Amino acid sequence: MAERIGFIGLGIMGKPMAKNLLKAGYEVTVYDIVGEPVEELVTDGAQRAASNKEVAANCEKIITMVPDSAESEMAILGPDGVLEGARSGSIVIDMSSIAPLVSQKIAAECAKKGVEMLDAPVSGGEVGAINAALAIMVGGKQEVFDKCLDVMKTVGSNVVLTGDIGAGGITKLANQIIVAANIEALSEAFVLAQKAGVDPEKVFNAIRGGLAGSTVMEAKGPMMLDRNFQAGFRIRLHQKDLRNVLQTGQELNVPLPVTALVQQMLGALINDGEGDADHSAILHHLEGMAKVEVKRGG
């Protein structure tokens, strides 16, 4: 019999992740507060659950993929939550990007019922989720990690245990600092080139193979040049992640000046109605300040 996996949260990342589990032969039970993705997954062969509690009651491994700390707490610890349905020995794999201290709080509550937990946030955006090529940063016990490794490898290509509970979240926050700063720097470079009358596409092709080249540049540069800001990872979610970065930095007395600046840029874009655009639309903020629009051909 195929292993049964619960999956809670079928958004832009969760839905393709759950589909990849189905393709790999797992029996997947799904729940989301939005009905449409549930119907789509059921059509693909998943089992429907009426609540987070019901998912946990039917599966020993339960993946949660929700937007932020409050949603993770509600899905796992709240009324009709995972912990109400989970049995001793069950494992919660929270793949949401949330505050590390919240992960530790949730894990402590799970432990009271004999339920294990991994915090396992991901990076790679919608494309990575669709292609099962996510980077997965995991915090938790080695033995629990080992039990869940095959499941996580079904949705990700790089799965690393980085430490105890909360370490996965810290690693994801570090990732989000670097991604945000890269996108902002690329935006500045393109705006400078455009204002100087130099074709940004030629600048991109000239520098991509040098030290400035990066996975972020390869993913986001063409989107900027095509002016394609359809969300692979939404501005409002990256702004949330950077808020968690800054809160964690404050708790640890770590100054994060560049992160703070980019977080404010993302907040301004949300105020401009661009919260659901791809985070490559940081470019718009720089264009607005320079009064120029980046385009192919200079």
Query: What does each of the 298 residues of the chain score in pLDDT, given as a tens digit?
Result: 579 999 999 999 999 999 999 999 999 999 999 999 999 999 999 999 999 999 999 999 999 999 999 999 999 999 999 999 999 999 999 999 999 999 999 999 999 999 999 999 999 888 899 999 999 999 999 999 999 999 999 999 999 999 999 999 999 999 999 999 999 999 999 999 999 999 999 999 999 999 999 999 999 999 999 999 998 889 999 999 999 999 999 999 999 999 999 999 999 999 999 999 999 999 999 999 999 999 998 7
Tell me the two tokens of residue 133: 């090529």
CB 240 within 8 A of CB 67: yes
DSSP-based three-state secondary structure for 171 = helix
pTM of the entire predicted model:
0.90
For the chain, what are the domain ranges? 4-164, 170-290
Residue 12 token pair: 């832009």
- Radius of gyration (C-alpha) of the chain in whole angstroms: 20
224, 186 Cβ separation under 8 angstroms: yes
Q: Which of 129, 128, 104 shows the shortest CA–CA distance to 118?
A: 104
Q: By the 8 A CB rule, do 173 and 100 touch?
A: yes
The fold for domain 4-164 equals Rossmann fold (3.40.50)
Angle subtended at Cα 112 by Cα 111 and Cα 117, rounded to the nearest 5 degrees: 20
172 labelled catalytic: yes
The active-site residue out of 172, 195, 220, 291 is: 172
CB atoms inside a 10 Å sphere around CB 209: 8
Q: Report the DSSP pairing between strands 122-123 and 134-139.
A: antiparallel
Instruction: Give me the architecture of the 170-290 domain, per CATH.
Output: Orthogonal Bundle (1.10)
